[in-house]
Amino acid sequence: MKGWTRPAPRADPDTQGAGPHSALRRGLLDVGKGVAVSVKPGPLRDGERPVVAAAVHAPEPGQALGVEAAGALVEAAETALSLHVPLVLQLASSGPPPDEDLSSLYGWGRVARALVRCSGSVPVVVIVEGPLLSGPALLLGLADAVVMSPGAFAYLSGPAAVAQVTGVPVQPGQLGGQRVHWARSGVATLVAPDAAGAKELVADLLSYLPSHSDELPPFCLSSDPTSRFTPELRDAVPARATGSYDVRVVVAGVADEGRFFELRGGWAPQLVTGFMRLGGNPVGVLANQPQSMSGTLDIAASQKGARFVEMCDAFNVPLLTVVDTSGFMPGRDLEWRGIIRHGAELVFAYAEATVPRVCLVVRKAYGGAYIVMDSKGMGNDVCIAWPSAELAVMGAEGAVNVVHRRAAPEERARLVAEYERAFLNPYVAAERGYVDMVIDPADTRRVLAGCFRALSTKRERLVTRKHGNSPL
């Protein structure tokens, strides 16, 4: 957990005089045509924690929103930041009105700056229920989470501009609809069937996060004992090295009541991210998914993982990393698009994280992907392995092809078997201190709960600096 300077005591909003928070006495602040900002309790599972909820919609479908709407959002963000409560925005806008002067563009720039100030201090969630176009669409990239309804779409350049430049006609939904941002761009963190479902998803998400970065995540009493054994996990990973399985089965076996709240499930599915509870306490989970691309990492997966690690670190959520990957996906196109730089984003996020971090290696942990998946060298607090774990520079076939490329076929088979016996097990790594313990999969929940309990008092004193230069 990051060190911090405790903020000054906040004034009671019910006793404040002039200023934006005086509106809390009424519960609703009208700030312009078609725009309202309300401060009200959020429907959270762990009680009625307050949130700042701002709804910004055009009075008529397709109508642009100008400086008044921007001012409303700035005021909402400043209110959430000063009260140290989450900010939930419901947005629909076709962009700055073309018949206004630059004041509308200036206003939306102020909104972006206000959201950046909230970033890492209070959770920021945006619900998109209609169009969100042009410059205001960039606000989605500044939020901690984005929930999109079926009728929502967002893009910077519309179908007309795309057709003019590329010559390819495209519909708004095809360009930036819910399915596009769920599966292709990664903008949508969650997708909802309707407006009511979107609010329910926001409530579920915020139940795993603290109101602000100076708090620990909310505890939720669980009837599932942490001493529960998980013998079903002994058969979760196939004996065949190339066998596929769903890593979410492993996560569900460890989680309280088997509940796992997945984020960005449609984007970069070879890496699973989300929240669970362990002994009632929220834990962020990042896991390789062998069902998709054999769990290999690419640009999208690296970005997805880095974004999630940074969010957990910002809001004091401990991290569990479940490892089963043979490495980074090879390919000329990936190298040209900068997989070195983007892969380093995940490295940077883990290296900078100060929350409790536990790494669980269930099968393959090879090469560069072994390093970036929160290895001991990256600074994890505890590294645990199952007997099926394989920690090595590369797989046996690849290693023999490199070292003994001229060997005869019958000799090659013997060398592969020797390499597997010598290196493809967790015990060599444990002897050298790269793995802290090798456990029976049936003990996984009990051991992980004990690790996070022991790490609950972890604190790190940070070196004073403005910020690092991450490889964005």
Residues 141-153 have pLDDT tens digits of 999 999 999 889 8
For residue 406, the surrounding DSSP H or E stretch is none
| Integer Cα distance of 245 and 196 in angstroms | 34
Position 100 scores a pLDDT of: 63
In sequence order, the β-bridge partners of residue 366 are 392
Pick the more confident residue, 260 or 425: 260
Residue 377: DSSP 8-state: G
Of 123-127, 238-242, 325-329, the range with the highest mean pLDDT is 123-127
Query: CATH code for 231-389+425-457?
Result: 3.90.226.10
Whether the pLDDT of residue 9 is over 60: the answer is no
Position 117 scores a pLDDT of: 95
Percentage of the chain exceeding pLDDT 70: 84
Q: What is the pLDDT of residues 185-244, one digit of tens each?
A: 999 999 999 988 999 999 999 999 999 999 999 999 999 999 999 999 999 999 888 889
Whether the pLDDT of residue 356 is over 60: the answer is yes
Q: Map tokens 């046996």 to a residue.
A: 396
Q: Map tokens 């490329």 to a residue.
A: 405
Contact between 312 and 357 (Cβ < 8 Å): no
Pick the more confident residue, 201 or 131: 201
| Integer Cα distance of 84 and 104 in angstroms | 28
Contact between 372 and 297 (Cβ < 8 Å): yes
Mean pLDDT of the chain: 84
Position 195 scores a pLDDT of: 86
Any residues with CB less than 8 A from the CB of 235 and at least 6 apart, and which? none
Position 10 scores a pLDDT of: 37
Position 96 scores a pLDDT of: 63
Candidates 67, 119, 65, 55; CA nearest to 91 is 55
Position 71 scores a pLDDT of: 84
Position 98 scores a pLDDT of: 63
| Integer Cα distance of 387 and 407 in angstroms | 30
Which token pair is 13? 């909003």
Whether the pLDDT of residue 7 is over 60: the answer is no
Position 21 scores a pLDDT of: 35
Position 29 scores a pLDDT of: 37
Rounded mean pLDDT of 369-377? Answer: 91
**Other beta carbons within 10 Å of 203:** 18
Q: What angle do CA 21, 24, 29 make, to 5 degrees?
A: 85
Rounded mean pLDDT of 156-172? Answer: 86
Q: How far is CA 459 from CA 1, 205, 317, 346, 381, in A?
A: 5, 25, 13, 22, 12
| Integer Cα distance of 308 and 148 in angstroms | 18
13-206 under CATH 3.90.226.10, yes or no: yes
> Which residue intervals of the chain bear CATH 3.90.226.10?
13-206, 231-389+425-457
**Other beta carbons within 10 Å of 62:** 10
pLDDT tier at 455, thresholds 50, 70, 90: very high
Candidates 105, 156, 99, 112; CA nearest to 131 is 156
